[in-house]
Amino acid sequence: MNYQSQKLDREKCGKDSRILSILETGGKMRKCYIESILLSTCLWKFSHINKQQERILLITNKNIYNITPQSTLVNFFSKVVSSVRVKRKIAIQNIAGITISKCGFEFVIHVPDEYDYRYSSLDFREKILSTLSDSYQRLVKKYLAIYLTDDLTLIPYTTTKVDAKKGICRMHGHPINIDPQTLANYDFSTLKAPEDNQKQPIRKSYDYSQQYRLLKYLYQGMLGQVILVQSIKTDKYYVFKLMQKQDVITTDHLNHALIERKLLEIFDHPFIIKLVQAFETDDQLIYVLPFYQGGDLYTHLKKETRLKEERVKFLVAQLIMALGYMHDKDYVYRDLKPENILMDSSGYIALTDLGLCKQLPNNQLSYSFTGSVEYIAPEMITAVGYNRMIDWWMLGILAYELIFGITPFYCDNQSQVFESIQEREVRFSTNIAISLECKDFITNLLRKDPKERLGFKRDFIDLQLHQWFKDINFGEIIRKTNLTWKLNLNDPVDLKFFEPEDFNLETLNSQQQDKALIQKFNLEFQNVEFNL
């Protein structure tokens, strides 16, 4: 190996005799190799159920190898033979193309005569793609086809073993050809050459200290800190959802932030959170949102263990209207759980964290694997494709958890949870009395087959017409005139429904910033500003 190859051989496969023994040789002389190592690196491979597995990807001038890292093997088996460690060998000329996520770090290697591999590499993806593309060009004498997508996860583009047996191929889109020599320096998120990326748009850094007082750190959200603030001009209370730009990039949540920014502005419903203002500083992205003094539903459930059936019905009625509104706009929420449901002082709710919403016009299918484990629908696990019906499945899980204090398929082992979701029917504890109508509502939401699930025919209308809601006036609820469940709060900043947090607000701007990551954020995230 030359010096450059040594730099790319991150796992030192060129010094591992067991790895070298699998390479092709020119004849009887074992050291006369006609196959040479071009690159090796540790990365993540995804199984057909989206389980991450640590693997070594080895690229030579003839093949790619999927190898189990030595560190993952028990010491007793440290001398295991190479053939056991090598999970798969693929001839480079058999590769038909690569699908690349513009928003994340995933890529799929397409092998039509066999099945695909989906990988993720945070820091080395472009070098892998460049090396593989170069090797392919030298062997086949043409550019390797590259497919680009805005999807964060590439499940919809990955042909699994099961798919291959059924004759299904998930490779789709319009391929582009890129010279392997420039591939390593491409920014796939913008599909612009490096020299074009130097042109930075003009950004306006906002000094929020002139308009808001920072009062209290409330909690850590998925993308950043949530802070109670007060308008200096009106004395009204709001919250900042404050995100560090570099964190949005490093945690692979850029696409979520973009989606949420868009939907916070365009959604307009009493039970969905609404954007008040959006702005940025040099290194932060900030959403100004209404302050929901009741905290999230998870806090209430934790304090009370379980809720009364009538209160659950009141909450579920609001969620039916909120999710129905999203469905009317061709969006699926996909992340229903108590932590994402906020409450105001009158006991009314607002859905928050819209970053996992996905638009599915004409009831199209999606294949992305996302959401909380205990809430995931069977059709998402089996990767047959899902639509808005997964929201009604999640609503059934939520209603059950609020009443019984535990999800219906709960288990400490994730694999067993998935197995129960797919195979076991919902069971109701005899220790907690609920109405037959409530049982029927939950049972029909938790049908394994989406076509048999409540809501399949007329969506939210089917749910509203269920017998469990025969005494519910949906018009009264959406006007928020029912104050039966008003919360007992002492003053406008009573924070009894928030956990005490020891966080110094002065440290918010003390984080060391990575200018390159901020630059990438600024290139990707345009039109931040918004004023209601």
**pLDDT value at residue 187:** 55
| Cβ–Cβ under 8 Å, residues 34 and 25 | yes
Please check whether residues 163 and 26 belong to one and the same domain: yes
CA distance 212 to 334: 33
**pLDDT of 124 strictly over 90:** no
Q: Do 421 and 501 reside in the same domain of the chain?
A: no
Residues 277 and 178 in one domain: no
How many CB atoms neighbour CB 32 within 10 A? 9
**pLDDT 10s digits, 302-326:** 999 999 999 999 999 999 999 999 9
Does 113 qualify as catalytic in the annotation? no
Q: What is the pLDDT of residue 80?
A: 43
The least confident of 7-21, 192-206, 488-502 is 192-206
Contact 232, 213 (CB under 8 A): yes
Q: Which of 16, 283, 335, 353 is catalytic?
A: 335
Supply 89's token pair: 């060998």
- If asked whether residues 324 and 471 sit together in one domain, one would say yes
Q: Do residues 332 and 370 both lie within one domain?
A: yes
Q: For residue 78, give its domain range.
A: 3-198
The pLDDT score that the predictor gives to residue 2 is 46
Residue 378 sits in a domain whose CATH number is 1.10.510.10
Verify that 111 and 244 share a domain, yes or no: no
Same domain flag for 187 and 220: no
Domain count, the chain: 3
- pLDDT mean across residues, the chain: 86
* Tens-digit pLDDT profile for residues 37-92: 999 999 989 887 777 788 999 999 999 999 888 754 443 344 444 444 788 899 99
Is 415 a residue whose pLDDT tops 60?
Answer: yes
Dihedrals φ, ψ of 15, to 5°? -110, 5
From the CB of residue 196, how many other CB atoms can be counted at a distance below 10 Å?
11
